[in-house]
Structure 1
Amino acid sequence: MAEVALDAVSRRYGSTVAVDDLSLTVGDGELVVLLGPTGAGKTTTLRLVAGLERPESGTVSIGGLPMDGVPPAGRDVAFVFQQFSLYPHLTVFDNLAFPLRSPLHRQPEPAIRARVEEIAALLRIGHKLGNRATRLSGGEMQRVAIGRALVRRPAVYLMDEPLSALDAKLRAGLRLELKRIKDELGATILYVTHDQIEAMTLATRIGVLDRGRLLQVGTPREVYERPRSVQVAARLGTPAINLFPAGLLPAPGAPPATRTIGARTEHLRLGPPDGSLGPNARPALVRRVEHLGDQSYLHLETGGHALVVLADPHAPLRAGDTIAVELVAPLCFDAAGERIEAAPPAREPAAATPLRRAQP
């Protein structure tokens, strides 16, 4: 496998900046996920690495070698596209074998059969090798598409939202499969998605993209717990991070320059409106309760601002109830939306009194 390095790479289409001065290194055997919304520059970045697009400035290197002027076929990369792109008239075996029968990578048929059967077993589709591609489920077709990239052992795998066309259950299953395959192969993978769960599940490191600019790179935990900006904080977390003006809730340790507070679910504590939660608690009105089985989303309103928090599904709450909410260990952002360090809390917060519906 090989390291991929992008050094100050930019690409424009007319007046639109698709990739803006992007520098990123994907280490040998690493799985880096580029996370961002539609139009962030994710696919363009993959196409620049693959050689399907040329950078207007900057350098793309693979294995320490600059790729300037090297055509896609000479870069030893495999691309898994968002659409399955299978040959419908061929069997699963022939779809998987196709790259190994091409003039550039031709191998003897016994070696092809051995490799195809190895990858089919890895993807758990060995029993489908005789089926035509049109007789597969969506998840099986995507496994074949991924397998077609795996069979020839390229230096780098490029994956462009390969799970986005699948339903939620299939996506969850294939996320785990991709993680297992990556660990078993030790492959170098650059993967792009708009799905934060995919990013958190798969990535060795996450790079957050917005409008062609790389906002932050770090481990999933680093990006989630220490986002550099409001934009980065809003990309990760379910439910989405609560953002509200400083002063809405008391925030001990917040620097004077704080203008916006970010509060994830674990940064908000709930309790009864009887003062037992603490002096920094404020009353909040329950606007709506979403029951999700193992947990509930509470949609609250306090000081004219909406908050969404997770709560015990057995808490006897309903719309119209009043509870107390307290802010613990907030994320603080300045007027430009950049995170600034908050002072550590002076004490560990005490456990909240269990929520009970107030008696009429």
Structure 2
Amino acid sequence: MAEIELTGVSKAFGDTQALEGVSLTVPDGAFVVLLGPTGAGKTTTLRLIAGLERPDRGEIRIAGRSVIGDTPAQRNVAMVFQQYSLYPHMTVRENLAFPLRSPILRTPEARIDRKIVEVAEVLRISHKLDNKATALSGGEMQRVSIGRALVRDPAAHLMDEPLSSLDAKLRAELRIELKRIQASLGATLLYVTHDQVEAMTMATHVGVLDHGRLVQFGSPREIYEDPVSLYVAGRLGLPRINALPAGLWAGAPAGAAVIGLRPEHIAHDHGPQAQVIRVERLGDQTRLHLALEGHALVTLADPHTALEPGDVLPVAPRNPLYFDAAGARIA
């Protein structure tokens, strides 16, 4: 495994600036998630590291060595795409073996057989090795796609929203599996998603991208509790952070235009009265959708609350986050 380092990396496609001055270090053995909406620059970052695109400016190093002049094959990274990218006429065994039979790797057949057995066991698809790819479920196909990257023992794994095309149940299962696999292998993994649940549950580090710029990098907890902007605060947390006028409650610092309140950071024992608009009972928790002086907000209540639409309850900030008119954090 190896550290990946980007220094001042920029990339434009015509008049569109995809990345602007991105500096980022993916530590050896870390699980780093790049988070942001469509167009933020996440996939471009992966493609630049993989060598599928060349930066206009900046430096890219893998294991301390510049790879700007290297071909994708010479960079020794493995990329998993959103789509399964399997050979349908081949068996699972043949799909897993294919990258190892590359003329560049020249892997002995005995080692190929051993690696296939090892990776199949890690991915729990040993019983599917002789099945054709077309006979697999969506989740199994994505496991094989991930396995094609794992068999190579690359310096780093790059994954571009590999779970986004799966249904919710499979995504939840494979999130757990992927984190288990990464931890067991000690692999350096850079993972792209717009799914905040994936970022919170899998990452050791999260990088938030906004229009091609890296705006914050840290642990999921750090990003969640100490965001540098309202934009970053909105990237993590479900339900999303409530953004309300700072003047709704007393005590806002000078320059504050917006108060950010996580749903769990709203007290119900004092403050102005809000009206219950909708009640979501989710078993382990209840979400209350409220209206306060014409502003919508979501808060959490006891799972057994008797509140119903039309009821009122007091609301007050607890551990609020403040932002200026441009969305920048005010300490």
- Common fold by TM > 0.5: yes
Q: Does 1:261 align with 2:277?
A: no
Amino acid at match of 1:265: P
Aligned equivalent of 2:117: 117
Per-residue CA deviations over 1:167-218 (Å, capped at 9, x if unaligned) read 1111111111111111111111111000000011111100001111111000
Aligned equivalent of 2:95: 95
Amino acid at match of 2:254: P
Matches within 5 A, 1:85-234: 85-234=85-234
Deviation at 1:224, TM superposition (A): 0.1
Distance, in Å, in 2 between the alignment partners of 1:141 and 1:195 is 21
Q: Does 1:307 align with 2:307?
A: no
Deviation at 1:111, TM superposition (A): 1.3
Deviation at 1:104, TM superposition (A): 1.0
Distance, in Å, in 2 between the alignment partners of 1:81 and 1:47 is 11
Amino acid at match of 2:55: P
Amino acid at match of 2:193: T
Deviation at 1:314, TM superposition (A): 1.1
Look up the SS of the partner of 1:131 in the other structure: coil
Amino acid at match of 2:293: G
Distance, in Å, in 2 between the alignment partners of 1:299 and 1:107 is 59
Aligned equivalent of 1:82: 82
Deviation at 1:312, TM superposition (A): 1.6
Distance, in Å, in 2 between the alignment partners of 1:27 and 1:325 is 42
The structure having more radius of gyration, on CA atoms, is 1
After TM superposition, what 4+ stretches of structure 1 lie above 3 angstroms from structure 2?
Answer: none
Distance, in Å, in 1 between the alignment partners of 2:263 and 2:106 is 54
Look up the SS of the partner of 2:198 in the other structure: helix
Q: Does 1:318 align with 2:308?
A: yes
Distance, in Å, in 1 between the alignment partners of 2:7 and 2:185 is 27
Per-residue CA deviations over 1:88-118 (Å, capped at 9, x if unaligned) read 0000000001111111112222211111000
Matches within 5 A, 1:13-92: 13-92=13-92
Distance, in Å, in 1 between the alignment partners of 2:137 and 2:194 is 23
Amino acid at match of 1:168: A
Deviation at 1:266, TM superposition (A): 2.0
Q: Does 1:331 align with 2:321?
A: yes
Deviates more, 1:226-235 or 1:322-331: 322-331
Distance, in Å, in 2 between the alignment partners of 1:106 and 1:147 is 18
Look up the SS of the partner of 1:235 in the other structure: coil
Amino acid at match of 1:239: P
Per-residue CA deviations over 1:38-86 (Å, capped at 9, x if unaligned) read 1111000000000100000011111111112111110000000000000
Amino acid at match of 2:329: R
Deviation at 1:318, TM superposition (A): 1.1
Look up the SS of the partner of 1:40 in the other structure: coil
Q: Which runs of 5+ in 1 are unaligned?
A: 271-276, 342-360
Distance, in Å, in 2 between the alignment partners of 1:232 and 1:157 is 25
Deviation at 1:249, TM superposition (A): 2.6
Amino acid at match of 2:57: S
Q: Does 1:287 align with 2:285?
A: no
Q: Which runs of 5+ in 2 are unaligned?
A: none
Deviation at 1:335, TM superposition (A): 2.2
Deviates more, 1:286-295 or 1:46-55: 286-295
Amino acid at match of 1:62: I
Look up the SS of the partner of 2:289 in the other structure: strand
Deviation at 1:220, TM superposition (A): 0.3
Distance, in Å, in 2 between the alignment partners of 1:12 and 1:289 is 46
Look up the SS of the partner of 2:17 in the other structure: strand
TM-score calculated relative to the size of structure 1: 0.90
* RMSD, aligned α-carbons: 0.9
